[in-house]
Structure 1
Amino acid sequence: MKKNEVPQDEGNLSKSNMKELVYATDENGNYTTALSSGWEPKTIALSNSLEDINERIEEAKQRVKEGNASPIVYFMELNKMDMNVLAGYVGMWKWRIKKHFKPKVFVGLSDRVLQRYADAFNISLSELKKFKAE
């Protein structure tokens, strides 16, 4: 695409005054870079993925509220992590983390283990221990 044809659609990037660097061709046909504030198909895809993330966060919150999951599940979703990413941050095996998803196991965890989760989620230990989904 030509530099003067780079899309500048209103979208999530334009709301935050961010621009995306894209490649385009100049008037001589040489590749160059240009800034774009958005492109409709990309905006739609980004909006859909953000909706999915927000739904997963709410589902996790509901599971914690119902007593079917520990706060670790909620904070993992809130921080857009999956099991592999969380395992890397806390330095534990995935099977161990999965056990910690159970509320009965969670309440028996030591402060040392919980602190590793709190650090990964960038929250305080007390926030993690006292989280109540409302």
Structure 2
Amino acid sequence: MEKENVPQDKGNLTKNNLKELLYATDENGDYTTTLSSGWEPKTIALSNSIDDINERIADAKQQVVNGEVSPICYYMEVNKMDLTILASYVGLWKWRVKRHFKPNIFAKLNDRTLQKYADAFEISVQELKNIKTD
């Protein structure tokens, strides 16, 4: 893409006065860097992804409220983690972390294990045990 044709659409980046660094060709055909404020298709895709993430967070929160899963599932979604990432952060096997998703197992976890999760999510143990339901 030529430097003068780099899209400058309004999007998520313009809200915060941010620009994205892109490569384009200059008038001599050489690659150079240039800034873009956004590109509509990319903005739409990003917006859709954010909507999906927010929906997954809301679903996880509702499952916690319904007693179907432990708060670990909710905070995992809030922090955009998956089972593998969370397991590596807390230093436990994936099957053990998955087992901690069960509310009855979560209720029996010791303070040391709860602290590992709280540290991974950068919250207190108290926040981990009691998510805000409003």
| TM-score grouping bracket, smaller chain normalisation | over 0.9
Gaps of 5+ in 1: none
Tell me the SS of whatever aligns to 1:32: strand
For normalisation by structure 2, the TM-score amounts to 0.96
Q: Which amino acid aligns with 1:34?
A: T
Partner residue in 1 for 2:126: 126
The Cα offsets for residues 83-107 of structure 1, whole Å up to 9 and x where unpaired, read as: 1111111111110011100110001
Could you tell me which residue of structure 2 aligns to residue 101 of structure 1? 101
Q: Secondary structure of the residue that 1:35 maps to in structure 2?
A: strand
Whether contact under 8 Å (1:72, 1:101) holds in the other structure is yes
Deviation at 1:133?
A: 3.0
Give, in angstroms, the shift of residue 130 of structure 1.
Answer: 2.3
Which letter maps to 1:43?
Answer: T
Aligned pairs for 1:82-101 (under 5 A) are 82-101=82-101
Q: C-alpha separation between the residues in 2 aligned to 1:16 and 1:66?
A: 37
CA offsets per residue over residues 14-34 of structure 1, 9 Å max, x none? 112221111001111100001
TM-aligned CA deviation for residue 131 of structure 1: 2.2
Q: Deviations over 1:37-62 (max 9, x none)?
A: 11111111101111100000000000
- 1:1-134 alignment to 2 at 5 Å? 1-134=1-134
Bigger mean CA deviation after superposition, 14-23 or 55-64: 14-23
Give the whole-Å Cα distance in 2 for the aligned partners of 1:49 and 1:66. Answer: 26
Q: Give the partner amino acid of 1:31.
A: Y
Whole-angstrom distance in 2 between the partners of 1:79 and 1:49:
15
Question: Sequence identity, in percent?
Answer: 68
Instruction: Say whether the 8 Å CA contact 1:65–1:132 is kept in structure 2.
Output: no
Q: Which 4+ residue blocks in structure 1 deviate beyond 4 angstroms?
A: none
RMSD, matched Cα: 0.9
Q: How much has 1:132 moved relative to structure 2? A: 4.6
Q: What is the total number of aligned residue pairs between the two structures?
A: 134
Amino acid at match of 2:86: L
Secondary structure at the aligned position of 2:24 is classed as: strand
SS in 2 for 1:92: coil
